[in-house]
């Protein structure tokens, strides 16, 4: 390493494992798109739709796949997974700002809370009794940490996050603003038209390296805990109901909703605006495309879809009307098939 800003291409090749084609001494200080890059930038090509910008890019270097190397006018970091290498390079060139350790004078920290070394507590944070923050946890302004909650080392809690009592969050978590972890699950019993609240006595447990998006809600369990396993990534505006379990390495896109007691396998990908009904099981390595409603368990790995495709409006209107006639059409078809079978039988009998 040198005292010059940024990284040399040789350093980036060594740190990411990508093959360098070009001058190892060239240095880059920032990441940029192919179209917007300037000298000193490094860009990437992972989507074929942007290949048209490759030949004219002004980037110092481009991260790309071997198939695109011949058309690259600059130095290159060559890899079979350009997006992954780009992510690693971006982390090196734009590391997250490290908050200053200490407790802001306006924060309210209960004397029985336990804080590790290097903890950063922002303005107007409230930390209740017996909460435990391990080393280098950072809590942004206006956030709330409930009693007996525990947050693992190197986790970052953004401003205006609410973490309920007894919630457990693992190491290196990232919780974005507006997230609510540990609110009551939606549990009510019906007493002749009057809803009676069922106490939500469980909690929420997040594993290590979990990221929770802005304004996402993860409800506490009714009896047992809601569990988010290691490495799960949850987008913004996701609803996770009580006693849901999401397996390690699963990624969930925005506006998805999980009804209570659904179990999601490991390494799944759930597309945006999907809805998972309660008490279902989804196997490991399942991909659910966007806007899919899952109404029964999925037992085998694979890709599953249930959303209608976009159509011209007039065509959509006609198809919507006809979909309401499907039962009547089925009954007419069944009757016609019965009549046809009867006619065939009579013809056979006349031969």
DSSP state of 209: T
Catalytic residue among 104, 148, 242, 267: 242
From residue 266, give the alpha-carbon distance in Å to each of 2, 205, 248, 249, 260.
Answer: 42, 16, 5, 6, 18
Beta strands at 233-234 and 211-212: parallel, antiparallel or unpaired: parallel
Pairwise CA distance, residues 103 & 220, whole Å: 29
Pairing state between β 204-206 and 226-228: parallel
176 assigned to active site: no
Report residue 295 as tokens.
């109404």
Count of H helices and E strands in the chain? 4, 39
Contact 83, 64 (CB under 8 A): no
Write out the DSSP string of 78-146.
E-S-HHHHHHHHHHHHSPPPPPPSEE-TT-EE-TT-EE-TT-EE-TT-EE-TT-EE-TT-EE-TT-EE-
Are 72 and 64 within 8 A, CB to CB? yes
* Secondary structure element (H or E) that encloses residue 304, with its range: strand 302-304
Task: For residue 135, count other CB atoms closer than 10 A to its CB.
Answer: 14
CA dihedral 272, 274, 276, 277 (to 10 degrees): 150
Collect all residues with Cβ–Cβ distance below 8 Å to 150 and sequence separation of at least 6: 131, 132, 134, 167, 168, 169
Catalytic residues: 242
């Amino acid at each position: 390493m040198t005292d010059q800003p940024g990284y040399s291409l040789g350093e980036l090749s060594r740190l990411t494992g990508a093959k360098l084609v070009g001058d190892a001494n060239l240095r880059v200080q920032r990441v940029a798109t192919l179209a917007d890059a300037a000298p000193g930038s490094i860009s990437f090509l992972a989507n074929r739709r942007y290949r048209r910008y490759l030949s004219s890019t002004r980037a110092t270097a481009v991260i790309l796949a071997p198939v695109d190397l011949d058309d690259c006018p600059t130095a290159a970091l060559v890899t079979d997974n350009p997006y992954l290498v780009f992510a690693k390079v971006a982390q090196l060139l734009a590391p997250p700002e490290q908050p200053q350790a200490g407790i802001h004078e306006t924060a309210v920290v209960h004397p029985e809370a336990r804080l590790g070394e290097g903890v950063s507590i922002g303005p107007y944070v409230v930390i209740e009794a017996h909460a435990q923050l391990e080393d280098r946890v950072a809590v942004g302004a206006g956030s709330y940490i409930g009693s007996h909650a525990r947050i693992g080392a190197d986790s970052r809690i953004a401003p205006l996050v609410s973490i309920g009592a007894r919630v457990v969050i693992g190491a290196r978590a990232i919780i974005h603003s507006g997230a609510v972890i540990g609110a009551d699950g939606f549990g009510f019993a019906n007493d002749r038209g009057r809803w009676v609240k069922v106490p939500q006595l469980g909690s929420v447990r997040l594993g290590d390296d979990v990221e929770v998006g802005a304004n996402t809600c993860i409800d506490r369990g009714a009896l047992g805990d809601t569990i988010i396993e290691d490495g799960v990534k949850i987008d913004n505006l996701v609803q996770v109901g009580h006693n849901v379990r999401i397996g390690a390495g699963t990624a969930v896109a925005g506006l998805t909703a999980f009804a209570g007691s659904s179990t999601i396998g490991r390494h799944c990908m759930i597309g945006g605006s999907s809805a998972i009904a309660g008490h279902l099981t989804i196997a490991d390595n399942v991909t659910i495309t966007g806007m899919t409603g899952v109404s029964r368990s999925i037992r085998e790995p694979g890709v599953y879809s249930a959303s209608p495709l976009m159509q011209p409006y007039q065509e959509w209107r006609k198809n919507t009307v006809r979909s309401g006639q499907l039962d009547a059409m089925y009954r007419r078809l069944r009757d016609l098939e019965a009549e046809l079978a009867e006619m065939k039988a009579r013809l056979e009998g006349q031969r």
